[in-house]
Amino acid sequence: MRPGSSPRLRTRTLAVVGLGLACVPVLALGLASALPVIPAPSSARAATTPRSAGPLSPRLAELAKPAVRSASPVKQAEELSLAPAGPGSLLRDGNRVLVEVRFDHGAAAAADDLRAADAEVVNASPRYQTVTVAAKPDELKRISGVPRVAAATEVLTPITSSTCPSGDVVSEGDQQLRAAEARDAEAFGVDGSGVTVGVLSDSFDQAMQAVTGGPIATHEEDDVNSGDLPGEENPCGQPTPVGVLQDFETGVADEGRAMAQIVHDLAPGADLAFATAFNGETAFAENIETLAKPSGEGGAEARVMVDDVTYFEEPFFQEGPVGVAVSNVAADGVSYFSSAANNNLVDLIGRDIASWEAPQFRDSGGCPTGLPSYASHCMDFDPGGPVDSTLGLKVLNGATLRLDLQWAQPRSGVTTDLDAYLLNSADKLVAQSENFNATSTQRPFEFISWTNSTGAARTVRVAVSRCDAACDPTSGGDSGSPRLKLALLQNGGGVTESEYPESVGGDAVGPTIFGHNGGGDAVSVGAVPFDDDSTPEDYSSRGPVTHYFGPVDGASPAAELPSPETLAKPDLAATDCGVTTFFSFKAAGKWRFCGTSAAAPHAAAVAALMRDADPSLTPAEVRAAMAEAAQPIGAFGPEAVGAGLVDAMGAVGEVAESVPPEEKPPGKEPEGVGPEAEGADAGGGSPPTAAGAVLPTPGSSAAAAASPATGVVDRVAPKTFLRHRPRKLIRTRHRRAKAVFRFRSNERGVAFLCRVDRGRFRRCKPRFARRYRIGKHVVKVKARDRAGNVDRTPAAYRFRVKRSPGA
């Protein structure tokens, strides 16, 4: 459509923007330092100024204007009704902004055309007919002229769910979730060995400034040297460094490194890998699938994954591209954990008020006077009383309101165009969002960001208008009345009152879990304070989640489900506000990492312990065992805490091959005890030491004690032999293959210690069976006798697992 042919103003805002949140445990990306508050513009364009409905979104069209593109990022944010930094701001890569360019067809082939327009291609997704680019503002018009471009939309900085064993610093979650007990040799002796945990967040080792200001306290090298991360200089014997597949450099806080520290605290034997989730929604999805790939294909072979990122655009009412990626890796055996996010809000009398949802658009027959003249069909927020065309919200001074509006139509199948507006108490328009949903973006999504810099708490009013053919003959939608939902994505604070705080008349209030965080194949994790097992954090998002359409798995609209699918979310709860070396705020001299961003890696680490105990576990078995073992959290129900608080001892006990000695049924000999047990000499004699029994170490009083029969101190180390070993080359059609070893010794009553690849020696049975991933491996075993003497020349065996489709 030619410029000037649409009657709607689509981007210009009268909003006051900025991010002035103080250091409270609700800050996305841990942004604890207040950013400058931007004064309100002195004048505003008339609300009826026409806008073009070309491929560029209204915000990008505004950004492309010479006066705006030459302005500072702060001024640009003001013009676009966005925060200048943090969640909901333009996602930037240096002096470029990230843009998702959607094509009707031929997206992959169009990448060269976009490069010719001087855009940097970040990711191309033929599946979704979308190319994500990084572009300077003066390149945006050239992008819109690329053939077959259907829409070009700005990428908003997503939410992460943080707030303001090993190593010098260990999270208290290690004790709270009983992971330390599960690692103990007298229990299960698991530490995550043989398992790779993939972490997705903003960045790993790029930040130069701490979240709370000043230089960042540590970098990866420091964390390795202190034992808080694995690496060559790790003093705890964990030499494999974190494998970084892709990092992100601009405006980041290294939250991924803080998450990796938590996993390493609880599962120090696990390998770690990282990939950024900050290159756009489809690139995030592709990095999930890359982490799961074999190393020979550029992946990390992660069998457990965890993320803490939510894109505002992720759908409320169906699985989006990230959720599809999660389902894909779960089908291939990956246990996937995601933060539930920090978006719950509790009002002054304890009601959860962070969302409002209606079963259909109810036309009030008019709109508030402060809205543009073309807005004439507004939502009636009162389900039963007098018509009410606005929803009142009380916003604290300095807080940023982030309002996400979506409706129940599938991506690429949007026919109804809804717009969102924000009015002050004087009925003056202060912010708006007006995308061309039905004709351009094909996403049922509008987003408003507004900062209250008035000096006091203020009540503002939200209006939702339906723009049909009468509103905009060219770019308007139909007169449909779809289900719609408003979510206040506040990272836990800033809004204290809602005009409609309770579910009534079919309208639902409260749940804010959405996107892949609430997907069917992701384990959604809520947060519980490290020092209080009786309550979840107020900000921990509530469920449930309901889907009405199939997943977004390509450029065509998904079909409506035969009946709505309701998912009980979150699934579990785990520790937050534990200590780290640098992230994200200091309290009593310790850096503490709060939010569901911290809870999710705690849960993922426990899954690594479980998969160490039994490598053949499926994601469904991991989830079921964790739910079965979870502990109640006060009187809170599943919409707040899922099955309850993660319990590593109980979860590992559900799946471990052997039961800890103290839990064995009375009168039953532990496995490996008796004259016929593997490892005992044929001539009988004393049985091997039971798995999990405490053995003296050399130099201890027990080791130095003389034999009662002979009076001679035993100082002779046993020898270790392999009775059975696998083939040197194991072929498999799968990602892993099972190998079985059997050990013996020249002494009676020994215990065996096994080491796989670069892991640590830990207790194992005379029959040692586990699954090994594709590649080369070495297994070492050494015997330890009752006096504590250990074979100094372990038996070793090297072999290789090869993937072979015909095996």
3-class SS of residue 342? coil
Please report whether residue 134 resides in a domain.
Answer: no
Domain span holding position 273: 160-342+517-655
User: What's the CATH code of the domain at 230?
Assistant: 3.40.50.200
In a domain, 94, yes or no: no
Q: What is the mean pLDDT of residues 615-626?
A: 93
What is the SS3 assignment for 625? helix
Q: State the total domains in the chain.
A: 3
Asked whether residue 256 is assigned to any structural domain, the reply reads yes
Residue 103 resides in a domain: no
Kindly tell me if the per-residue pLDDT of 660 is higher than 80: no
- Choose between 169 and 54: higher pLDDT: 169
Can you give the C-alpha Rg of the chain in angstroms? 29
Q: Which residues pair with 50 in a beta bridge?
A: none
Q: How far apart are CA 340 and CA 516, in angstroms?
A: 9
41 preceded by a cis bond (ω within 30 of 0):
no
Cα–Cα distance for residue pair 507/382, rounded to 1 Å: 9
pLDDT score at 272: 97
The answer to the question of residue 63 being in a domain is no
Closest CA to 534 of 644, 663, 447: 644
Q: Are 495 and 539 members of one domain? A: no
Identify the band that residue 23 occupies on the pLDDT scale cut at 50, 70 and 90: very low
Domain boundary among 481, 509, 537: 509
Q: Which of 629, 655, 681 is the last residue of a domain?
A: 655
CA angle 710/714/717 to nearest 5° reads 145
Average pLDDT over residues 18-25: 29
Please say whether the beta carbons of 577 and 529 come within 8 A: yes
The residue behind tokens 């992971």 is 179
- Say whether both 4 and 45 belong to one domain: yes
Looking at the fold, whether 525 and 393 belong to one and the same domain comes out as no
Residues 322 and 225 occupy one common structural domain = yes
Let me know: does 373 contact 48? Beta carbons within 8 Å.
Answer: yes
CATH of residue 785: 2.60.40.10
CA distance 691 to 680: 14
**Same-domain status, 243 and 370:** no
Q: Rounded mean pLDDT of 433-454?
A: 95
Confidence of residue 763 (pLDDT cuts 50, 70, 90): confident
Tell me what pLDDT residue 679 has: 32
Q: Pick the residue with more confidence: 746 or 366?
A: 366
Of 469, 484, 509, the last residue of a domain is 509
Query: Do residue 532 and residue 484 come from a single domain?
Result: no
Q: Is residue 495 domain-shared with residue 535, that is, in the same domain?
A: no
* Distance (Å, whole) CA 438 – CA 448: 19
E strands within 596-704? none
Statement to judge: residues 766 and 743 lie in one domain: yes
**Domain co-membership, 604 together with 665:** no
Shared-domain flag, residues 505 and 533: no
- CA 596 to chain CA centroid, Å, is 9
664 and 717 co-located in one domain: yes
Asked if residues 606 and 597 have their Cβ atoms less than 8 Å apart, the reply is no
Reported as a single tens digit per residue, the pLDDT across 412-427 is: 999 999 999 999 999 9
Two tokens, residue 607: 């899954």
Is there a contact between 443 and 436 (Cβ–Cβ < 8 Å)?
A: no
Q: Nearest Cα to 604, choosing from 536, 521, 524, 491? A: 524
Distance CA 551, CA 557 (A): 9
Does 645 fall in a domain? Answer: yes
- Per-residue pLDDT band for 53 (boundaries 50, 70, 90) equals low
Sheet harboring 196-201: ordered strands across? 243-246, 271-276, 196-201, 304-307, 335-339, 522-529, 572-576
In this prediction, residues 721-746 reach a mean pLDDT of 88
Tell me the C-alpha distance between 553 and 561, whole Å: 14
User: Within this chain, do residues 598 and 486 fall inside the same structural domain, yes or no?
Assistant: no
**Residue 175 belongs to a domain:** yes
pTM here is 0.74
